[in-house]
Amino acid sequence: MSETNHEFRAETRKVLNILTHSLYSNREIFLRELISNASDALDKLRFMQTQGKTAREAELPLEIRISVDKVQNILTVTDTGIGMTREEMVENLGTIAHSGSEAFLNELASHKPAESAESEEGKGDAASIIGRFGIGFYSVFMVADKVEVLSRSAFADEPAHLWTSDGTGTFTVSEAPEQEEVHRGTTIRAYIKDDAKEFLERYRLENIIRTHSSFIPFPIFLEGDRINTTPALWREPKFSIKKEQYDEFYKFLTYDQKAPLDTLHLSVDAPVQFNALLFVPDTTQDYFGTFRDHWGLDLYARRVLIQRENKELIPEYLAFLRGVVDTEDLPLNISRETLQENVVLRKISQTISKQVLGHLEKLAESDPEKYNAFWRLHGKVFKLGYSDFVNRDRITPLLRFNSSALNEADDLTSLDEYISRAKEGQKEIWYIAAPGREAAKTSPHSEIFRRKGLEVLYLYEPVDEFALETLGKYKDFSFKAVELADNSILDTYPDAEDAPKAAPLSGEDLSAFDQLLATIRKVLGDQIKDVRVSHRLADSPACLVAADEGITSSMDKLMRVLQKDDSIPQKILEVNREHPLLRNLLKIHKADPEDPQLAEMIQNLFDATLLLDGYLKDPHELATRATRLLEHAGAWYADMKKL
C-alpha cells in the first residue's frame, strides 16, 4: 500500500502542543514513557501467548533495546512486543488519549465471566499492562523534531509499516522499506534536536533508565549492556526472598552502606491493591533540620516510577521509613508526573500506617531490645504520632522514655512498665522535662518524688511534653508534670527514705523567718510574684513555682521563643526553711535586716534558681556577685582558722 497522509485532529494538535511544551517539567521523562510503552507491548504479547496464540518469530526474546547514532543524532528504542498493524498505527498514534493499552483492557473487561481458569489467570497478568500509549508517546517531541515508528504486528498477517511525523499537524503511514529488518514489535527512531543532544550520551540515558525504569519486568539493553539488573523485589513472594536479598535491595535503593534494622514486606488487596517494601534504617537522620523535606516513599505504578519521596503515602511520624509502594489502582492525569487528587493514596497511607504500627507492636513484644534500638534511632520522629487521633491508642503504648527508676540515660521504659511499678493508689504518671538525665535528677522539683519513692519520666525533647499534654492520660493514669504537683496528693504517700532534717525553729525564729520572707519580697521586688516556704524541697535551698498551675517552665520557655518574648516571667519563689543557707540568712537578718551582704545573697539565691530553670539572661552579674561572696567567705574562713 502506498504512503498515506493524515492530519491530526484539531483537539489533538492543541493537546500535542501542551504535551510537548508545557506538561512535562523534566524532558528526560520522554524516555521513561517510551520504555513504559515498550513494556506495555511486551506485556500484551505475553498475555496473548498465555491464551494459546502463536506469535510471529515466537523464539524472539521479550526485551527492550536502546541505541544511539551520534552522526545522525538518532535515538532508537526497540521492543519485541505485540507490534501494530497499519490501522492500529493510525488509530493509536494519530489520536491523543486513544490508548492501545486502554482499548486492550477494555476488550478484556468485555469478556464473559464464564471463561476458563486459564483466561482468568490471563486477566490477572493483563492487569500489569501500563501506560497510555497515545499520551506518553508524544513526550518524545520535547527532544525530537522528527519521529519514525516502525512496527510489525505479532499476529496480523501484514507487512511492517512506518509512521512518520514532526509532531505538528500531520503524519504519514507507509509500508516500511526495510521489511527484512523488522521481525516483530516496534522500533521508535527519534531525531534529536540540537538543544537535546545530551540524550545521545550513554551516561545520561543510563541514569534515566536507572532512575525511572529500573524495575521494568523485561530486560533493557543500552548499547548492548543490560541496565535493569535489580528485580522488583516487592513483587516477589515473601517466602522466596532471603534477608541478604532484602539488604542488597535496600542498599541499592538508598545508597546506605549499612543493612536496614528491619524490613516490612506488604502485599495488600483491599481496600486498595498495592505492594510495598518498607525498611527501617539502622541510621538516624535529622528530619527536623537538614532532611526536613527529604522523606517519603517512592511511588510506582506497575513497576514504573511515578514520584520519589511521595509524602502522601505515610504520615510524618513515619518519615524514617524508606522503601517503595507499587499500586495497581493509581489513576493518573494526562502525565505520570501529575498525580490526581484521589482517595487511593489516602487509603494506601492508612493501610501502611496500620501495618507498620502492627509490626512495631509485635516487635516491641517479641524483641524488646531490637525495639529499643529502633526507638533510639527514630523515636524522636515517631513521637509525632501523638497527633494521629485515629491511631493514638496504638501509638501511645509504643512510646518509650528514660526514667528515675532506670540506671542509665540510654535505658528505656514503656508506659505499661511504669504503671506496673506505680505505688498503690497512684493514678498519675509523673514527668519532668530537662535537657539531660543529670539535670532531671538534680532538679529541685524532683526531690520530693525521690523522697516519696515515686518514679518520674525524664523528657529530653520538646516534643515529649507536647505529646503527653496532648494525650492527657493513658489508661486510668493522668500525665502530670512534677513542677505542677499538688502537695496534697504527694502527702498521701509515706516517705521512702529518711532525709536528715535540721533542728526545728523556735516560735521566735518562726516569727523571724516570716520577717525574712518579707525582706526577700522587698529585695527582689517585681522579679517575683511572691515568696513562701516550700514543702517539696529537701536538698535545694529554693526553687521557682508557676503562679498558676497551667504550664511548666519548659513549656513556658518554648512558648516565649515562638512568640519572640525574651522577658522573665514572674513566679513564686519557694524557699527551704530547713536548708543551712536559709538558716544562715535568718541569722544575718536577725542581726541586721539592712545588711547589704544579705541583699546580695538573696539576689544570688534568686539568680541561681533562674539559672536552674533556664531563665537567667545575664550570667555575668551572677558571676560577679558570686566572686564577691567568695572573697568574703575566704576572708572569714582565714580568720576562723587564724591563718
Q: What is the CATH number of the domain that holds 470?
A: 3.40.50.11260
Residue 91's pLDDT is: 85
Q: Identify the pLDDT of residue 108.
A: 46
| 204 and 144 within one domain | yes
Q: What percent of the chain has pLDDT over 90?
A: 56
Is the overall model pTM greater than 0.85, yes or no? no
Query: How far, in Å, CA of 287 to CA of 381, rounded?
Result: 7
Asked which of 201, 226, 251 is the last residue of a domain, the reply is: 226
Boundary (domain end) residue, out of 318, 345, 366: 366
Please state which of the ranges 9-13, 604-608, 618-622 shows the lowest mean pLDDT: 9-13
217 and 237, same domain (yes or no): no
- Phi then psi dihedrals of residue 161, to 5 deg: -130, 155
Give the CA count within 13 Å in the CB-facing half-sphere of 251. Answer: 9
The average confidence (pLDDT) of the chain is 86
Domain end residue (candidates: 210, 226, 242): 226
The answer to the question of residue 499 being in a domain is no
Looking at the structure, do residues 438 and 478 belong to the same domain, yes or no? yes
Q: Say yes or no to pLDDT of 393 above 90.
A: yes
- Confidence band of 622 (pLDDT split at 50, 70, 90): confident
What pLDDT score does 8 carry?
79
Model confidence over 249-265: pLDDT tens digits? 999 999 898 999 999 99
User: Could you tell me if 184 and 54 are in contact, meaning their C-beta atoms sit under 8 angstroms apart?
Assistant: no
Judge whether residue 111 has pLDDT over 50.
no
**pLDDT (0 to 100) of residue 132:** 37
Statement: residue 427 has pLDDT above 70:
yes
pLDDT at residue 283 above 70? yes
What average pLDDT does this structure show over 27-38?
89
Examine residue 56 and state whether it is found in any structural domain, yes or no: yes
Least confident of 36-45, 564-573, 602-611: 564-573
pLDDT at 487: 84
Whether the per-residue pLDDT at 112 is higher than 50: the answer is: no
For the domain that residue 569 is a member of, what is the CATH number?
1.20.120.790
One domain for residues 16 and 155: yes
> Among candidates 129, 309, 303, 305, which has minimal Cα distance to 233?
303
Interatomic CA distance for residues 66 and 218, integer angstroms: 13
379 falls within a domain: no
Query: Which residue range(s) make up the domain with 591?
Result: 507-548+561-640
**Is 569 inside a domain boundary?**
yes
- Residues 439 and 537 both lie in one domain: no
Give the chain's domain count.
Answer: 4
Identify the pLDDT of residue 16. Answer: 67
What's residue 163's pLDDT?
95
| Distance in angstroms (rounded) separating the CA atoms of residues 168 and 199 | 22
The predicted structure's pLDDT at residue 337:
47
User: What is the rounded distance in angstroms from the CA atom of residue 299 to the CA atom of residue 168?
Assistant: 33
Task: Find the range with the poorest average confidence among 52-66, 199-213, 353-367, 614-628.
Answer: 614-628
The rounded distance, in Å, linking the Cα atoms of 621 and 606 is 12
Each residue's pLDDT tens digit, 569-578: 889 999 999 9
Q: Distance (Å, rounded) from C-alpha 114 to C-alpha 185?
A: 32
Burial call 610-641: b when 16+ CB within 10 Å, e when fewer: bebbebbeeeeebeeeeeeeeeeeeeeeeeee
Residues 6+ apart with CB under 8 A from 407: none
- What confidence tens digit (pLDDT) does each residue in 215-237 have? 998 999 999 999 998 889 999 99
Q: How far apart are CA 128 and CA 62, in angstroms?
A: 15
Same-domain check for residues 309 and 437: no
C-alpha grid cell for residue 582? 536559709
CA atoms within 13 A on the CB side of 313: 29
Residue 568: per-residue pLDDT:
86
Q: For residues 307-313, give the mean pLDDT.
A: 89
Residue 381 lies in a domain: no
Q: Tell whether the model's pLDDT for residue 559 goes beyond 60.
A: yes
Does the pLDDT of residue 454 top 80, yes or no? Answer: yes
Which element (helix H / strand E) includes 508? helix 507-524
Residue 603 CB-half CA count within 13 A: 18
pLDDT at 335: 46
pLDDT band at residue 613 using 50, 70 and 90 as cut-offs: confident
E strands along 424-535, which residues?
428-433, 456-459, 473-474, 477-481, 528-533
- 198: confidence class by pLDDT, cuts 50, 70, 90: very high
Same domain, 107 and 248: no
Residue 375, in any domain of the structure: no
Residue 114 has pLDDT above 60, yes or no: no
Number of Cα atoms under 13 Å in the Cβ half of residue 226:
10
pLDDT tens figures, 119-168: 333 333 322 333 333 457 888 888 998 999 999 999 988 999 999 998 88
Flag whether 264 is in a domain. Answer: yes
Residue 499 neighbours by CB distance under 10 Å: 12
Q: Looking at the structure, tell me whether residues 275 and 324 fall in a common domain.
A: yes
- 256: in domain: yes
- pLDDT given at position 34: 93
Using 50, 70 and 90 to split pLDDT, how confident is the model at 115?
very low
Total Cβ atoms within 10 A of residue 512: 16
List the CATH number of the domain containing 240. Answer: 3.30.230.80
CATH assignment at residue 24: 3.30.565.10
CB atoms within 10 A of CB 296: 21
Q: Are residues 406 and 475 in the same domain?
A: yes
Q: Residues 480, 529: one domain? A: no
Q: Are residues 191 and 110 in the same domain?
A: yes
Which has more confidence, 156 or 561?
156
173 and 206 in one domain? Answer: yes
Q: Which of 285-294, 406-415, 576-585 has the lowest mean pLDDT?
A: 285-294
